[in-house]
Amino acid sequence: MCGSCSHECGQKCSKIVLLEPKVVLRGPSEPLLIPQLEIGQDQGFTVSHLCSHAKGCVKSVKVANISGKHTRPSDLRFSLVKDGTRVILEEFSCPPIGSSDPMNFDFGFADDGLDQGLLSFCNAPAGPVGGGKVYKPLERLSAFKGIPVEGVWTLRILDVFRGASGVLENWKLVIEYE
């Protein structure tokens, strides 16, 4: 059970569902703070770890339901890391939005996702940034193909500008393996 697994930083791993030959990992169990960048820092980051105990090699990976709130989602950079392999999912290049109210975000990534990209949501006045859709990542998730499914998968969120903060409420990893 993933509940008995803990990462070296002491964080408990999140729920796991085995649907052979697919594993679905969900996290975090409670919202994680995406802290605002402090004076003197170049970047601030949040990480969320998911543990898999499935045996086999990755065929495909989909990152789904990345959701939360942030004053300026345009400040965030998302990547997925496993065993030294890092895939950049999104690096928003939107101009900052003038509101100080937290904005919802909700999106996912898959190699066969939408081509339109999240940039189309930079100035979207209604609904969460990303609209709950699945997009193509900046780098291909197929970079994980052939590596072991078992182990710690990490979603890394970088906040690259000062003056805004938020929370990561949810994310899900769907891994097909053989």
Domains: count for the chain: 1
Q: pTM for this one? A: 0.80
Measured torsion, CA atoms of residues 43, 30, 79, 58, in degrees rounded to the nearest 10: 150
pLDDT digits (tens, 9 = 90+) for 61-94: 999 989 998 877 777 889 999 999 999 998 876 6
Q: Which domain holds residue 51?
A: 2-177
Can you give the CATH number for the domain in which 49 is found?
2.60.120.260
Helix, strand, coil distribution of the chain in percent, nearest 5 = 10, 50, 40
pLDDT digits (tens, 9 = 90+) for 118-165: 555 555 555 677 777 888 999 999 999 999 999 999 999 888 776 777
**In which band, very low, low, confident or very high, does the pLDDT at 46 lie, cut at 50, 70 and 90?**
confident
